[in-house]
Amino acid sequence: MTRLRALVALVALIVAGGLVAVIPATAASAAACSASWQASAVYWGDAQVSHNGRNYRAKWWTQNEAPPGTTGVWEDLGACGGGTTPPTGGTCSYPNWTAGTWYAAGAIVRYTNGLHYIAEHDNPGYDPIVSTWYWEPYACGGQPPTTPPPTNPGGFVVTEAQFNQMFPGRNSFYTYSGLVAALSAYPAFARTGSATVQRQEAAAFLANVYHETGGLVHIVEQNTANYPHYCDPGQSYGCPAGQAAYYGRGPIQLSWNFNYNAAGNALNLPLLTNPWLVQTDAAVAWKTGIWYWMTQNGPGTMTAHNAMVNGAGFGQTIRSINGSIECNGGNPAQVQSRVTRYQQFVGILGVSAGANLYC
């Protein structure tokens, strides 16, 4: 009975609040919040930001990847501004996100990290922290986050604003959306290696594209006298679209019947019989440029992609595209034009140009 009376007395004290003063507080006050993370800002190693009530530290150079991210670049420093742990439900009662489930724009889900996300665009169950164009963080309780959504759908390291800055006078045919749509053909493009290497590769590709098309102005080769020269009759499949149908088109100016055949086979497109697709469909045009970049050595010894991700340098991308026509003193002015543009583009993307710029 003595033990029972003691327990009753203890409960009475707790209810009355009498034990509050003798039980030490264990929850430390949260740190002050750093400046809010911004999608367009460049963050170098040790930079600190706040996002969704938590502070984060960048381990290395980063841009566009919202904390906590998926690459490990952000170190979670804990809650800030009086917050505690990420919401695990709170005043929100939204369903758990499920991969493969169709979500219409406006749908709100609870992700596996305990945070909530709202669908900005219809999607078939893309991962909220990977497909950041389709999903935006959503503050539990219904208040929208202050961080603006990213402007680079598909996770491309070049935003639409940067693309427009690179090509201010481009032909309306060469759309940014067409470029982003083409990325799915070769997922390793501009997504291999460190964040710096990814941006260097994107800048290298776009610098060569700029040179080949006069700043994305020309869709087709301008010298029509060359058109009949691009049919190699020695190929078993010949030139079914016509002797003069395989002239340069698109961002890399794809030419020759054998290149149209190879690109068509790789991309599952009827380019041998309908090469005009490259000048009428922006996504197809961009895909042929990325196909050449990713798979063809050309007159060089490696693909342009491998040149950039394996450290051979920008100069080898020139060799893979135009070989001795420009390299080894063939046309130093053209080489310099490409290098100058590359240096400008890496500057826009906030990274160094690297070594071996010339061929």
Give CA–CA dist 64/41, Å, rounded: 7
Residue type, 130: V
Tally of residues, the chain: 359
Structural tokens at position 32: 């002050």
For the range 254-263, what are the long-range contacts, defined as Cβ-Cβ under 8 Å and sequence gap of 24 or more? 254/278, 254/288, 254/289, 254/292, 255/221, 255/230, 256/230, 256/231, 256/232, 257/230, 257/231, 257/232, 258/232, 259/292, 259/296, 261/235, 261/237, 263/287, 263/288, 263/291, 263/292
d(CA 211, CA 232): 26
Give 11-16's long-range contacts (Cβ < 8 A, gap of 24+): none
Strands 74-79 and 54-58 come out as: antiparallel
Catalytic residues: 212
Q: State the first-to-last Cα distance of the chain, in angstroms, to the nearest integer.
A: 94
Nearest CA-CA partner of 103 in 136, 68, 64, 145: 136
CA angle 195, 197, 198 (to 5 degrees): 65
Tokens of 76: 């979670």
